[in-house]
Chains A and B, each alone.
Chain A
């Protein structure tokens, strides 16, 4: 199999992330991030598709620039306090490093590369981009204890951009990437206060994304009109798809509500009322475009499409169980906490 090299790069990708989040020095962080970057480029590339090449190039350039800024940030830090291994930062290098990590995550207002790169990827790479690639930069932002004003600004920018920009899109990859920007805002808010909360948010967010993207990739869908073809004669699929989107938007009976709930709680406890209120209100807009994706599926009778994709069945036991856990998780955990 000619794709065997992908196994290798997956392993180095994960190793890079693990190195950077567990290293004690800034150099280690940088090395890990570089390993991660260099191993995702071959994963992205598909010789039959020019768009993926373009995307990988864009990604490489932007990430390389961000790594450069990171390198500059901790070099300034080393000059200032003469300790190469120290993770504690001065004010200036901390801001520079946070900026570089924001660029790497794709948080607004440094997000411009993110939807463009996403547009060129296939769904599995998009999944990696949406979930795994966030781990290293965000963990390191968490470690740096950087300037709170900067982080809050980025939170607001990300939430608003994620909410606003998704409205006029028809491409599902772009919608997913703007939704991801919105969620990055929430995750930033979570990691500002509590590590565990960020971990929970990230885990649940990744699981929800996995469930949605598995379906999209299985039926090879990249824009909203194609959804109608997917849902034809497949009510179970339709229902799960819709509920997953509700969960992603944070509608209460589903698991997606849990991390948002906890984040709101933490923000209220730390008296960030205005930011919290803005985040909740703007997230309604994301919920709106999720609903706009899913509502036609249940309200309109599905039209027949020339692409007959409907004979694919929804059979994977793993996906069924993942979906069930995601959709009923909040209910069952609430019951478990209250009555057992």
Chain B
């Protein structure tokens, strides 16, 4: 491979990632935190300072982001080959990485806003990379939903003025009971909900799948959407109990909703996007249950296997002539064994197959949930969603890897995209070993889990049950009783993310546009025109013509009136 923009950035990010990783280990072992401040401008007593925060969390997160982005950039050399604007694409991805870095290392709300807005802007540019109407609509949905979060951060910046500095990290615990800090924490959680696509704002994430697959792999599954989770982790110390309760419910139901929706979806990328949404809900809810480090752990492992999953999906889409519908796939393992192998591994890691990456975080999370002091609803939702994860995984594998080939008669499905496969192979090792490695380095001593055997086995039971259900669901034949068709409204409700795309597009747009149209018609073009400009001009010009009548009289009359006026004055004052 000749030296090109992809290779350069691949090497650069790989090097940075390794150095960040080693530094992160050093910081973790020695328990170090570094603040680096650049004094930009100082005017009298107020100084403008750029602050960076380096601790093990930010360094490890950076190293993972950089590693995944290096792999994705390497991978996109082939995936995007023949594209006219490869340079623009790679530069956008690099800008994305830059703003992600800025977000990760800043303990300051202003610089977080810079990174946050950068993420929003770059992700918009990436979603609309393919120039068509659907991408444009999806990008607009993404951008507008994320604007809500931007506004929340701007508002919290305004509230932070009360403390005299925007370095929130110093105020989190000591100002926890302060009223302003409560508002700030509420706004930050709102921002995190938008960026992590939690329940009221979920609809943008599946829509954002209009972006090229490497972008989905890097931006919309592993890194950008976890920015919200990361923000919540950073602000964890100041979140109050009520707020955590709200967050817990929203996270749980996002997880459940997305897991359910993925079982109904036929678009390959959307299934994976919904699975991402489900995992994000998992992270949010475990953080809300009071375990931010576990949330962070799952964030890292999820980033690994989800990036790989998307890259495999991209490989399939690439070979199948841009077909994304899983009903056209099938028997792919015969044609692309290596890709399917990795696809399988990452899917199993996603659903928590023991000793793969997802197992360590997910199993621990579920056990902590079993152990924790929450109610039966939360418990049920957690476990049912875990079952649903395996259900849609099995369904996905059933449709894509096994069975008969359902594609067109002419096809060229193979593993021979060497660059793409190399990019994926770089991640597969971490998908297999990453979980155990992270669990060994993140936790100095193992979590103490004390559960009865039935609860301990509950995880594996729901997973097996979910897998069985997924297998049965996929096997529904035309002749059998079609439950989906007989309950069409219910299945539509569940498959369309509980109507959320409609609620966040038509529901908001339609009344607004209707009202706007009404006012445009009756006010702008109606009464306001009549009482405003038109009538004003009409009256003025009428008065003008009326007064012109006085000019028609001859000078004689004018002079006579003047004389009368003088006589009147004389009579008045004499």
Q: How far does the Cβ of A276 sit from chain B's closest Cβ, in whole Å?
A: 21
Q: How far does the Cβ of B74 sit from chain A's closest Cβ, in whole Å?
A: 57
Complex interface bits, A56-83 against B, C-beta within 8 A gives 1, otherwise 0: 0010011001100100100010000000
Q: Which of B415-464 contact A (CB under 8 A)?
A: none
A92 to B569, CA, bound (A): 7
- B545 near A168 with CB under 8 A, answer yes
- A99 near B565 with CB under 8 A, answer yes
Residues of A within 8 A of B (CB): 58, 61-62, 65-66, 69, 72, 76, 91-92, 95-96, 99-100, 103, 110, 112-113, 115-116, 161, 164-168, 285
Q: Of B318-326, B329-337, B476-484, B546-554, which stretch is located at the interface? A: B546-554
A58 to B551, CA, bound (A): 14
Complex interface bits, B541-574 against A, C-beta within 8 A gives 1, otherwise 0: 1011101101101010011001101100110011
- A62 near B559 with CB under 8 A, answer yes
A168 to B549, CA, bound (A): 12
- A99 near B562 with CB under 8 A, answer yes
Residue B540 CB within 8 A of the other chain: yes
Most buried by B among A112, A116, A168: A112
Q: Is the interface of B mostly helix, strand, loop or mixed?
A: helix
Q: How far does the Cβ of B568 sit from chain A's closest Cβ, in whole Å?
A: 10
Q: How far does the Cβ of B571 sit from chain A's closest Cβ, in whole Å?
A: 10
The answer to whether residues A165 and B547 also contact, given A61-B555, A96-B569 and a CB cut-off of 8 A, is yes
Contacts of B562 in A (CB 8 A): 65-66, 69, 99, 103, 110
The answer to whether residues A285 and B569 also contact, given A112-B551, A112-B555, A112-B558 and a CB cut-off of 8 A, is no
- The residue from B544, B548, B559 contacting A65, defined by CB atoms under 8 A apart: B559
Q: How far does the Cβ of B573 sit from chain A's closest Cβ, in whole Å?
A: 4
- The residue from A66, A96, A113, A161 contacting B570, defined by CB atoms under 8 A apart: A96
- A99 near B541 with CB under 8 A, answer no
- B543 near A164 with CB under 8 A, answer yes
Beyond the given pairs A95-B573, A115-B551, A164-B547, 12 more chain A to chain B contacts, judged by CB atoms under 8 angstroms and listed by A's residue number, are: A58-B555, A65-B562, A69-B563, A96-B570, A112-B558, A113-B558, A164-B540, A164-B543, A166-B544, A168-B544, A168-B545, A168-B548
- The residue from A66, A95, A112, A113 contacting B569, defined by CB atoms under 8 A apart: A95
Contacts of A116 in B (CB 8 A): 551, 555
Q: Which 10 A-B pairs have the closest CB atoms?
A: A92-B573, A112-B558, A167-B544, A168-B544, A95-B569, A164-B544, A167-B541, A91-B573, A58-B555, A65-B559
Contacts of A99 in B (CB 8 A): 562, 565-566, 569
Q: How far does the Cβ of A178 sit from chain B's closest Cβ, in whole Å?
A: 10
- The residue from B540, B541, B551, B555 contacting A62, defined by CB atoms under 8 A apart: B555
Contacts of A76 in B (CB 8 A): 570
Residues of B within 8 A of A (CB): 540-541, 543-545, 547-548, 550-551, 553, 555, 558-559, 562-563, 565-566, 569-570, 573-574
Contacts of B541 in A (CB 8 A): 167-168
A100 to B553, CA, bound (A): 20
Q: Can you name 27 A-B residue pairings with CB atoms under 8 Å?
A: A61-B559, A65-B559, A65-B563, A69-B563, A69-B566, A72-B566, A91-B573, A92-B574, A95-B569, A96-B569, A96-B570, A99-B565, A99-B566, A103-B562, A112-B550, A112-B551, A112-B558, A113-B555, A113-B558, A164-B543, A166-B544, A167-B540, A167-B541, A168-B544, A168-B545, A168-B548, A285-B540
A61 to B560, CA, bound (A): 12
- B547 near A161 with CB under 8 A, answer yes
A168 to B543, CA, bound (A): 10
Chain B's closest residue to A103 (CB) is B562
- B544 near A96 with CB under 8 A, answer no
A62 to B550, CA, bound (A): 17
Chain A's closest residue to B557 (CB) is A112
A242 to B523, CA, bound (A): 33
A62 to B562, CA, bound (A): 10
Contacts of B563 in A (CB 8 A): 65, 69
The answer to whether residues A165 and B544 also contact, given A61-B555, A62-B555 and a CB cut-off of 8 A, is yes
Q: How far does the Cβ of B186 sit from chain A's closest Cβ, in whole Å?
A: 45
A96 to B558, CA, bound (A): 16
Chain A's closest residue to B571 (CB) is A92
A184 to B485, CA, bound (A): 84
A69 to B567, CA, bound (A): 10
Contacts of A161 in B (CB 8 A): 547
A76 to B553, CA, bound (A): 31
A72 to B569, CA, bound (A): 13
- B548 near A92 with CB under 8 A, answer no
A166 to B547, CA, bound (A): 11
Contacts of B569 in A (CB 8 A): 92, 95-96, 99
Contacts of A103 in B (CB 8 A): 562
Chain B's closest residue to A58 (CB) is B555
Contacts of A72 in B (CB 8 A): 566
Most buried by A among B550, B551, B553: B551
A289 to B559, CA, bound (A): 30
Contacts of B543 in A (CB 8 A): 164
Q: How far does the Cβ of A74 sit from chain B's closest Cβ, in whole Å?
A: 13
Most buried by A among B543, B550, B555, B565: B555
Contacts of B558 in A (CB 8 A): 62, 112-113
Contacts of A62 in B (CB 8 A): 555, 558-559
Contacts of A100 in B (CB 8 A): 566
Q: How far does the Cβ of B504 sit from chain A's closest Cβ, in whole Å?
A: 43
- B548 near A165 with CB under 8 A, answer yes
